[in-house]
């Protein structure tokens, strides 16, 4: 069985910076309130006339390919994770195939929201491990800003999210790299809590014509809903479990961890996990302060920034972990 190695990382964020003070102008909130509850100071919002989920993903992918020293034509497969595709269907994977001018390779779209990137990385890893593919592009990209309720009604959720994209190029490791690469991935779900963090409409259960016919100004089903306290309590438990699972599976001790890159859901969640697991500041990477929660994009975006800052070095042990809507949670352990 082959080993998968991350050859290159890249990310893209829109130029428009939306600070907490900017949100104070459109809803009853404050910089202090947002920082205290989420740790977020600012986020990026896309130019909705020129930037799309797939286009941001392409930009992140081009950078990842450049850093990997790999030509786009060498790709065998695209795996794209998002909850905010350009269209209801098709998914954005095929748009990346077109934008990069690739041959008719496969494109898979992953809909696991905050856990989406780790799920997508796991899919790529399995294709490489079995020998079916040699080089796979994995993207996480989100455009939340066009679908947020930026009023007092939606303030509890809308202040959290931002736009952005991240990507990695995963490739079959060479024989002299046998001790490096993705060691394992671990995926979980608990559908009984699906509606605790969800966007319920429009859907085949409540389609557009029904929403229009009802003409109900109080209907907020087409905006994201989150039961914040409920999600927090489950997140801190599942994060810890799935990180420990990865280390136990590989016979490693948590003290050997060089860097944890958690999904950037809420800085308070990351800090709680860090404290409960006895990790130092140097062992955990957070950038939610600058970008907010970018869902499936958050881990590859953070991983790319950590790499740029020299926080990820060859031979280091890196853990990726996520929890989110579904509920789903997942981890990946990588020997860089």
Q: Which residues are catalytic?
A: 114, 263, 293
Rounded distance between C-alpha atoms, residue 235 and residue 115, angstroms: 12
How far is CA 172 from each of CA 70, 169, 223, rounded to the nearest angstrom? Answer: 13, 10, 41
Beta strands at 164-172 and 4-12: parallel, antiparallel or unpaired: antiparallel
Q: What is the DSSP track for 66-122? A: HHHT--GGG--EEEEE-SS-SSSSS-THHHHHHHTT--S-EEEEE--GGGHHHHHHH
Contact of 82 with 116, CB cutoff 8 Å: yes
Residue spans of beta strands (DSSP E) within the chain: 4-12, 16-19, 42-45, 77-81, 106-110, 135-142, 164-172, 181-189, 197-198, 225-226, 259-262, 317-324, 328-335
* Residue carrying the six token digits 């990790």: 279
> Are 54 and 89 in contact, with CB atoms under 8 Å apart?
no
The rounded distance, in Å, linking the Cα atoms of 22 and 26 is: 7
Widest Cα–Cα separation across the chain: 64
């Amino acid at each position: 069985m082959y080993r998968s190695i991350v050859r290159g990382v890249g990310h893209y964020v829109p130029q428009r910076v939306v600070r907490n003070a900017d949100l104070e102008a459109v809803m009853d909130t404050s910089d202090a309130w947002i920082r205290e509850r989420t740790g977020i100071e600012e986020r990026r919002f896309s130019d909705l006339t020129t930037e799309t989920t797939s286009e941001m993903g392409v930009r992140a992918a081009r950078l990842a390919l450049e850093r990997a020293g790999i030509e786009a034509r060498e790709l065998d497969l695209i795996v794209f994770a998002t909850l905010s595709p350009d269209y209801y269907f098709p998914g954005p994977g095929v748009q990346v195939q077109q934008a990069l001018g690739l041959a008719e390779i496969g494109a898979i779209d992953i809909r696991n929201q905050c856990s989406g990137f780790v799920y997508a990385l796991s899919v790529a890893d399995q294709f490489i491990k079995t020998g079916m593919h040699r080089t796979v592009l994995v993207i996480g990209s989100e455009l939340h800003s066009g679908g947020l309720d930026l009023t007092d009604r939606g303030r509890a959720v809308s202040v959290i999210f931002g736009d952005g994209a991240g990507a990695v190029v995963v490739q079959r490791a060479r024989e002299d790299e046998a001790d490096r690469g993705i060691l394992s991935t671990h995926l979980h779900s608990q559908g009984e809590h699906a509606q605790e963090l969800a966007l319920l409409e429009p859907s085949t259960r409540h389609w557009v014509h029904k929403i229009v016919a009802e003409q109900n100004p109080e209907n907020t089903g087409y905006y994201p809903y989150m039961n914040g306290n409920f999600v927090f309590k489950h997140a801190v438990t599942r994060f810890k479990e799935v990180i420990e699972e990865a280390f136990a599976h590989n016979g490693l001790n948590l003290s050997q961890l060089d860097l944890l890159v958690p999904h950037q859901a809420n800085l308070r969640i990351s800090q709680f996990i860090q404290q409960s697991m006895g990790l130092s500041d140097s062992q955990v990477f957070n950038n939610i302060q600058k970008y907010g929660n970018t869902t499936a994009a958050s881990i590859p975006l953070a991983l790319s920034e950590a790499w740029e800052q020299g926080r990820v070095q060859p031979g280091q042990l890196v853990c990726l972990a996520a929890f989110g809507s579904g509920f789903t949670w997942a981890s990946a352990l990588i020997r860089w």
